């Protein structure tokens, strides 16, 4: 059987169009990566001798970022609210002979922020790198959240970094250069059930950070918005929980210690500092957070429906009035609800990254 000549011509024409389209798409993609590499190289800075401030630098991600900055030759200053954790972090950062400035500072208090920044200027010089990392999280159903929970979370996750930004930005503009890293969350890109207060603060912070990027770049200041997913930083004891406290904590602790879904603080710190050095606009990591963020951006309706189904698998609201009470993770016993591997991973990470006071030791 012979096909009509017109059909063969039509097939060849369609194949030719497809081939041309793929060639154009490939060329465009190659041009994008080449131009992006060129731009990153042009914006690259050497951290040797640069004065870098890490707010929330005594534990977890902040500590690992401070460590990475020290290793790259920066003059580092860290601040946190708790004196003992801060001093332990300082001692660890200085083990290789480096000198790190550390001072207690509650970033929710503008006067303390101004005092800390003034001390850094006097001790190390003008600030050239700012890392906003301090944060908190309240986990539980929205039915158990009240105005105080939202105010508490916004004070630390949004207004705290804002105080630091407003204090440091004028100096950077006057210098004509600077790098700012804002540690937000993929929870500021994607709705996360049982984290309404956290999501509200992080969505606000993402919006602020991305807007600052567009304005400050004319002053030679590059703002990098970092949206990490789950990090194995041993931070569950510091988290706050409402509702069925034991179930909420157990789920949070398990998810935060599942290797394929999470990233280590050291690896995250390296990626963050690398993005800052090259003046990147955004970093979303690990791969799970990247996929979730991408899907929600291109198909928000479908994404929201899928997340709504996930919500049905989470612990239900508590029937007891005690569910309205905010409790810290270190005050909650999950019993057998947390798998042994997750608990062991959490304990190891807490010992390594949290630098908490171990309390009185047996004689």
Buried b / exposed e along 24-44 (16+ C-beta atoms within 10 A): eeeeeeeeeeeeeeeeeeeee
90 near 78, Cβ under 8 Å?
yes
Residue 289 tokens read as: 């957070």
Check if 202 is active-site.
Answer: yes
- The count of residues in the chain is 363
Query: CA-to-CA distance for 134 and 106, rounded, in angstroms?
Result: 10
- Pairing outcome for strands 178-183 and 221-228: parallel
Catalytic residue among 189, 198, 242, 249: 198
Check if 319 is active-site.
Answer: no
Measuring CA to CA, which residue among 130, 145, 363 is closest to residue 226?
130
The CA radius of gyration of the chain, in Å to the nearest whole number, is: 24
HSE-CB for 272 with a 13 A CA cutoff: 33
Positive or negative, the Cα torsion across 309, 261, 264, 228?
Answer: negative
58 near 81, Cβ under 8 Å?
no
Ramachandran region of residue 175, left (φ > 0), alpha (ψ -120 to 50) or beta? alpha
Residue found by looking up tokens 């993929």 in the block: 186
Query: CA-to-CA distance for 180 and 128, rounded, in angstroms?
Result: 8
Catalytic residue among 202, 222, 249, 353: 202
Query: CA-to-CA distance for 45 and 33, rounded, in angstroms?
Result: 20
Distance set, CA 176 to CA 48, 93, 127, 300 (Å): 18, 30, 12, 39
Enumerate the active-site residues.
Answer: 198, 202
């Amino acid at each position: 059987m012979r096909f009509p000549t017109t059909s063969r011509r039509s097939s060849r024409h369609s194949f030719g169009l497809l081939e041309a389209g793929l060639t154009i798409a490939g060329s465009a993609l190659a041009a994008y990566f080449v131009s992006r590499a060129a731009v990153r190289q042009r914006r690259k800075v050497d951290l040797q001798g640069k004065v870098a401030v890490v707010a929330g630098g005594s534990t977890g991600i902040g500590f690992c970022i401070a460590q990475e900055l020290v290793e790259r030759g920066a003059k580092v200053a860290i601040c946190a609210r708790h004196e003992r954790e801060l001093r332990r972090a300082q001692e660890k950062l200085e083990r290789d002979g480096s000198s790190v400035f550390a001072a207690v500072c509650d970033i929710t208090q503008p006067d303390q922020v101004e005092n800390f920044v003034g001390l850094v200027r006097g001790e190390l010089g003008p600030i050239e790198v700012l890392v906003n990392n301090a944060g908190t999280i309240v986990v539980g159903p929205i039915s158990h959240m009240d105005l105080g929970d939202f105010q508490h979370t916004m004070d630390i996750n949004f207004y705290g970094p804002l105080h630091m930004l407003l204090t440091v930005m004028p100096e950077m503009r006057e210098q004509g250069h600077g790098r700012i890293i804002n540690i937000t969350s993929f929870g500021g890109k994607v709705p996360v059930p049982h984290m309404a207060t956290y999501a509200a603060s992080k969505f606000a912070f993402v919006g602020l950070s991305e807007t600052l990027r567009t304005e400050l770049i004319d002053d030679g200041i590059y703002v990098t918005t970092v949206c990490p997913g789950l990090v194995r930083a041993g931070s569950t004891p510091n988290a706050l929980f409402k509702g069925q406290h034991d179930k909420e904590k157990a789920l949070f602790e398990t998810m935060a210690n599942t290797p394929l879904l999470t990233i280590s603080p050291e690896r995250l710190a390296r990626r963050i500092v690398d993005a800052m050095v090259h003046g990147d606009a955004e970093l979303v990591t690990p791969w799970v957070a990247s996929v979730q963020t991408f899907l929600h951006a291109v198909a928000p309706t479908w994404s929201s429906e899928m997340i709504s189904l996930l919500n049905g698998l989470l612990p239900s609201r508590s029937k007891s009035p005690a569910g309205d009470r905010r409790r810290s993770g270190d005050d909650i016993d999950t019993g057998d609800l947390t798998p042994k591997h997750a608990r062991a991973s959490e304990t190891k990470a807490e010992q390594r990254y949290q630098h908490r006071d171990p309390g009185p030791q047996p004689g």
